[in-house]
Amino acid sequence: MPCPSRSDELVFFVNGRKVIERNADPEVTLLSFLRKNLRLTGTKYACGRGGCGACTVMVSKRDPTSQEIRHFSVTACLVPICSLYGAAVTTVEGVGSIKTRLHPVQERIAKSHGTQCGFCTPGMVMSMYTLLRNHPQPSEEQLLEALAGNLCRCTGYRPILASGKTFCLESNGCQQKGTGKCCLDLGENDSSSLGRKSDICTELFVKEEFQPLDPTQELIFPPELLRMAEDPENRTLTFHGERVTWISPGTFKDLLELKAKHPEAPLILGNTSLGPAMRSKGHFHPILLSPARISELNVVSKTNDGLTIGAGCSLAHVKDILAERVSELPEEKTQTYRALLKHLKSLASQQIRNMASLGGHIISRHSYSDLNPILAVGNTTLNLTSEEGTRRIPLSEHFLAGLASADLKPEEILESVYIPHSQKWEFVSAFRQAQCQHNALPDVNAGMRVLFKEGTDIIEDLSITYGGVGAATVSAHKSCQQLLGRQWDELMLDEACRWLLDEVSLPGWAPGGRVEFKRTLVVSFFFKFYLQVLQELKKLIKPFPVPNSRHYPEISDRFLSALEDFPGTVPQGVQRYQSVDSHQPLQDPVGRPVMHLSGLKHATGEAEFCDDIPMVDKELHMALVTSTRAYAKIISIDLSKALEIPGVVDVITAKDIPGTNGTEDDKLLAVDEVLCVGQIICAVVAETDVQAKRAIEKIKITYEELEPIIFTIEDAIKHNSFLCPEKKLEQGNIEEAFEKVDQIVEGEVHVGGQEHFYMETQRVLVIPKTEDKELDIYVSTQDPAHVQKTVSSTLHIPINRITCHVKRVGGGFGGKIGRPAVFGAIAAVGALKTGHPIRLVLDREDDMLITGGRHPLFGKYKVGFMNNGRIKALDIECFINGGCTLDDSELVTEFLILKLENAYKIRNLRFRGRACLTNLPSNTAFRGFGFPQGTLVTESCITAVAAKCGLPPEKIREKNMYRTVDKTIYKQAFNPESLIRCWNECLDTSSFHNRRMQVEEFNKKNYWKKRGIAVIPMKFSVGFAATSYHQAAALVHIYTDGSVLVTHGGNELGQGIHTKMLQVASRELKIPMSYLHICETSTATVPNTIATAASIGADTNGRAVQNACQILLKRLEPIIKKNPEGTWEEWIEAAFEQRISLSATGYFRGYKAFMDWEKGEGDPFPYYVYGAACSEVEIDCLTGAHKKIRTDIVMDACCSLNPAIDIGQIEGAFIQGMGLYTTEELKYSPEGVLYSRGPDEYKIPTISDVPEEFNVSLLPSSQTPLTIYSSKGLGESGMFLGSSVFFAITDAVAAARKERDIAEDFTVKSPATPEWVRMACADRFTEMIPRDDPKTFKPWSITVA
């Protein structure tokens, strides 16, 4: 390593202010520099690998060739600060602030209700802001592209898009909008109650109130940087870090000299490949060369026969260059360019494309590279340079495989890339299939090129290259050679497929799994290419009437749809809700779409989350050490090497716990044995998070494996490994009923687990006070009282010494009920032992590894029914994978069984459920709590009955639905009137019956694309099944100036509970909301609170706030009577003078709820939420991809407290449910290690997964006397409605199978990933692939459901 002589000064600007960093460390990213050094905490840390967009900022630089200022959105977590020399960075704080002035982007995203938890909002704002700096009036497509790299787990994206659309040029929206009507408002024959009513609103915000966008008001590019750019320094800049040296030469000559001197040093531009590798794989380079200032690497030159692009050009720039070339040249010359453009649209995200360079992409040679296969078949040449001179090598399979003879020499660099034009009679195509359309690494991709002898269909040259099917990009060279001279016909196709499968072979144990799917794609892609080329040939041959020439194979019209890819379209939709009564006072906010209280602060980055709290004096950082074995004895733990690392203060183990170490079965820190990979063994405390993480690597733990190791439900059943006794409900006589039915069907359903993927990972800050063992704990949790109790028992100090504070939580979904207590307790032990404040922030990988998620489920059903579809008997047995400790698994099993019947009245039922004990991290509460998995079994059962009866599934649903006031299987009485209304309304507003006919028509005409449509009813029970869990308290203070402080026991998770509480207080006290404030949820103000969960937070806390306000108003009554014309302030002053207490505790004793499992009856739930959803999809039978055409949801919210928040909850839950059932797949290794530990491997829905038309309606004029102002809790119920997409997909798959004469019953597996869809649509291509005997190899991953 070079001697650390003095570093140069790093100069860049942040939000218009100059930053001079004299000791820049190349290992420090812009994200940590902004958050720690500059205290700009608006930019959030959520994944650390550029996959979620939460840390998006804008970087501006002067383009040396065009002299223009260019603005890019980038993910700050990947940008090394050393790469920012001479750049201007704009963060969300620089865009606008509530203290000075808001930017229109910030105002609109907040007022359009585009924020819920608000953790992803600054990133969204920055992506949109950058777009507007480049295109003040963008198109909707540009908006979609700009936001495709930003994940949101709360909103369902629609309101975010709605805010962005207000900046777009008038688009293909509704033509009648100006008249106040909209074509989407009309149902099938306008008989629906939603169409007729005049009191139905469709606007959640008023566009006219927005301030206009004025591009002249933006921050200017710093003049000093302009001067630096105009007169660039050519000297080499060097930045020495602790371990790494960053060298940035000023001239090309210097770069070549440095490369000769340090041949091992990589060139670094975007850091999108090196960054994640250094982070997750531990790759380390002591010297990094940055060619960012070398203009020669950005040169673009056009010639008559091709295009040379500098290796330093970003992929976004390459996209623009190619698009320009395609518009200038005739079609025949741009085949390769168009193929590249197609992949550049879906490759990674806008932020990554802005950072990644073409050279870096090529040289990284990732097996999944989307561009290399196309560049390889397009005969691309690489221009290399070194001190010795220049040379050219082909970008060939040998280069891609990394063969030394075809590779760069260590001292060479890639200067530019030459891509030749295509020619007439030459066709180039690109294909890719990934878990979802955008921002996802491909499972398989391909580049294919064919050249014909002029005027014929005889193959003169053929080149096919695949990515994703091996360790490197693979060329099918042999197969291509064998096909030369052949005609382009069916015979050639058959042989080609066989040869390709032979040559591009993939072993059964191949990394990444999905082996049979990948093999199928190899031939499916070639078939698509075959059809595309046939189509093109037809156009070309027509003008060549050759006598006696043979006729081309005809493509039947039914095959043509195979040629089209699904286009990315911007979602449209309508949200309908009942407007408030015209007599309601204007200042009464209940029932109005009030903006989220923190909305504007979310949008400016000023909303403070747990990790945004400034560093406390003497604060230390904690990092956790987790088990690498699934079930083993701990033989020894060697901490010596870790404690030697500078900055490491201590290591906390189970011996340091003064009180109780969790429970007997569920330890906070492992003692003697570990039960799963990811179990916490000890924790390192150090001065910085970097030191703590380095120390973890040095801790050596020796294990001794134990038996039996159980991961799957199947193994648990075999070993009789269960967490709790079986839960069972029964009604009628099931055995007798089975004897009297016409038909019986049995089936199995597998539902995979789900990761919470809250945007804010688990985090806690523990601050010990100087006296009486007091602790202040700032924690991201849904249940601060549980954290408080756990810390109390762990430290063996009374609860009254511990105060937990929750300001807001960046998403919870059930994942922050039980787990935060564990992290809080471990951090508290560290704080007690060291006497220092402790900050613990989990990385995304650790969070996903340690915390567990939704329970995977395996269900078996047996159903007896009559030929007309009436179900007489149903027997369901469910097993859930609980993981290694009990956690909430017993409760989940109970709720699952209670909710299994969904909306159906079946006289003879038997439901049984078991929670399996396995060696996986313990699964826990998750939105819906068992209902989304269990009810999928019930609905699959309905679909199976429909198939056997030859009736559409909706007919079976209607026939078996509850119709009149009745009792559930557990004998709770209810009235299904609203359920029936939701169902009919949904059929009506979605024009279901018309569309069902259109779907059938479409399917007759198309062989390779199929559509499916499904409508699903829902009866969702709200609440905990125990009265004591429904209690709530509030504390309301009125101060002498008339302002009011409200506190209550609910936590703000993004669901708008604080907003709703102030709406309640405003109505009760009859004062405007501006008089009211909520500071935080704290165990010191409202004690003994219940977790904010089970959709019931606003219900119960609302009643407590109401109670407190009514007590206060009663006390003020005599004063108001005396002076009825007085102001609120005068009344309060008078009350104080008369010594009337202006503080009151409100209390709600809770809804009655109980369940007797011995008898199998009870009233476990206070009330039900009813709903229905209809979704239509189209699938591509050749690749397994699908697009969501339309979704209509009707939900019975009764009288919504805040329709904007409630519709937001429904949409967010629906999209999250859709993720559960379509793309979110957890993969475990055969050793029980979770592979999918970040957004790269685990795919939550992105903005491009939202249905093209997405309509949500709240059922008008329905009442429930029980709850506050007749409102209902809607936090969880929408989750299951996402299954309408799943059943629409299975409907489309069933249509494909029927047409191909394959048995219609298939095992139902969720999620319906492209792999499952493709393999279920069996055809000649799935038939021809080789299959492996599972006994002959160890698979890459196992299925745990």
The catalytic site residues sit at: 1276
Residue 138 CA: distances (Å) to CA of 220, 818, 850, 1317: 21, 45, 42, 36
3-state secondary structure of 67: coil
Alpha helices in 231-286, H assignment, sequence order: 252-261, 274-280
Residue 1148 CA: distances (Å) to CA of 216, 585, 866, 1062, 1152: 54, 27, 49, 17, 12
Contact indicator for 423, 501 with CB cutoff of 8 Å: no
Q: Work out the number of other CB atoms within 10 angstroms of the CB of residue 584.
A: 14
Q: Work out the number of other CB atoms within 10 angstroms of the CB of residue 730.
A: 14
> How far apart are alpha carbons 236 and 208 in whole angstroms?
54
Nearest CA to 1194 among 1048, 995, 986?
Answer: 986
Strands 1032-1038 and 1143-1148: antiparallel
Whose structure tokens read 């097996």? 367
> How far apart are alpha carbons 683 and 905 in whole angstroms?
53
> How far apart are alpha carbons 21 and 36 in whole angstroms?
14
Widest Cα–Cα separation across the chain: 111
> How far apart are alpha carbons 915 and 879 in whole angstroms?
6
3-state secondary structure of 1211: helix
If you write DSSP's letter for every residue of 472-528 in order, what string do you get? S-EE-HHHHHHHTT-BSSHHHHHHHHHHHHHHS---TT-TT--HHHHHHHHHHHHHH
Q: Work out the number of other CB atoms within 10 angstroms of the CB of residue 786.
A: 19
- For 538, counting Cβ atoms within 10 Å of its Cβ (0-12 exposed, 13-18 middle, 19+ buried), the class is middle
How long a stretch of residues is the chain?
Answer: 1345
Strands 245-248 and 287-289: parallel
Q: Which residues on neighbouring strands pair with residue 651, listed in sequence order?
A: 684
Nearest CA to 1018 among 1220, 1287, 1291?
Answer: 1287
In the chain, the N- to C-terminal Cα span, in Å, equals 50
Q: Crossing angle for the helix pair 140-147 and 121-134, nearest 10 degrees?
A: 140
Q: In what order do the strands lie in the sheet with 287-289?
A: 237-240, 245-248, 287-289
Preceding amide of 1118 cis, omega within 30: no
> How far apart are alpha carbons 18 and 85 in whole angstroms?
11
The first and second tokens of residue 388, run together, are 């010795």
Nearest CA to 1223 among 605, 547, 754, 598?
Answer: 754
> How far apart are alpha carbons 1224 and 1226 in whole angstroms?
7
- Cα-Cα-Cα-Cα dihedral sign, residues 627, 630, 633, 635: negative
> Mapped to the 3 state alphabet, what secondary structure does 660-681 carry?
CCCCCCCCCCCCCEECCCCCEE
Contact indicator for 1036, 1108 with CB cutoff of 8 Å: yes
Nearest CA to 74 among 437, 356, 321, 343?
Answer: 356
3-state secondary structure of 873: strand
